[in-house]
A = this chain, B = another copy of it.
Amino acid sequence: MDEVEQDLRGLRPALVSVEVVGIAMVVLVSIWTGHCMGGFSGSDDANLVFNWHPLLMVISLVFLYGNGILVYRVARHERKSRLKVAHAVVMGSATLLAFFGLKAVFDFHSEKEIPHTYSLHSWLGLMAVSLAVLQWILGLVTFLFPGLASHLRKALLPVHVFTGLAVFILAAVTALLGITEKAIFRDKDKEFSYKDGGGEATVVNLLGISIVVFVVLILAIVTRQSFRRLNMAEDQMLLTEGHAE
């Protein structure tokens, strides 16, 4: 297959940049929901129930999902079996957390008598969450438990990588659409003026930009051949040399 030599120069600064941008993104969505939009509530105030939605979706299917993709690049010296479990746990937790984020918006719509899934945001969001669940189950069965035969795993890996990245990008795109929707709805309800700029408008746009930069950096890292972890043949070598398991 594609045996490009490993060359890790630039990996560390790239990973540091991803985490700086990712944390900025989580801070920005926290400021927007927790401060600008008035904070959180379990059930009393529908608007404050809603605020869990952007917060949890950005943390789950953008921040955690993105970090789960990076597991093989970050913890590259761990045994492959451990990396697989770590990857599955992060992706599974992210997908589970997304359901709490979905519950918040369905509760909000029910309370306010707003139709549930009329917008492009909702259609793409349901696609993203359904595909994330499917991707997790197929990934588990193929690569971990029970795990298919070696030649099948090898053939399916590029498919798993492509669909995983597609789900990640789709989730991020859905977040951008949701942020735009909410900003315009709040402008319409005179809760702030998007058109006139100022604090909340800046938070909204910077949150969007941080999501785009986070995704681009992760794509740049994982598509760079020379950053790839040494492949299974070499795990096998280590095994026979008695360094692992």
Residues of A within 8 A of B (CB): 1-4, 114-115, 118-121, 123-124, 127, 158, 162, 166, 169-170, 173, 176-177, 179-181, 183-185, 188, 194-197, 201, 204-205, 208-209, 212, 216, 219-220, 223-225
Question: What B residues does A185 contact at CB under 8 A?
Answer: 184
What distance in Å separates the Cβ of A128 from its nearest Cβ neighbour in chain B?
10
Given the contacts A115-B196, A197-B118, A201-B118, A170 and B2 also touching, CB distance less than 8 Å = no
CB distance from A81 to the nearest CB of B (A): 26
Name 20 extra pairs, CB < 8 A, besides A120-B176, A127-B212, A162-B219: A1-B2, A1-B4, A2-B2, A2-B225, A115-B195, A118-B194, A118-B197, A120-B179, A120-B183, A120-B205, A123-B205, A158-B225, A162-B220, A166-B216, A166-B219, A169-B169, A173-B176, A176-B177, A184-B188, A188-B188
CB of A33, distance to nearest CB on chain B (Å): 16
Q: Tell me the complex Cα distance, A185–B219, Å.
A: 33
CA distance A118 to B195 in the complex (A): 6
User: Which residues of the partner chain B approach A120 to less than 8 Å between Cβ atoms?
Assistant: 176, 179-180, 183, 204-205, 208-209
Given A2-B4, A169-B169, A119–B180 Cβ distance below 8 Å? yes
CA distance A20 to B80 in the complex (A): 42
- Residues of B close to A3: CB separation below 8 A: 2
A1 to B4, CA, bound (A): 6
Q: A123: which B residues are within 8 A, CB to CB?
A: 205, 208-209
Q: In angstroms, how far is the closest chain B Cβ from the Cβ of A205?
A: 5
A169 to B166, CA, bound (A): 11
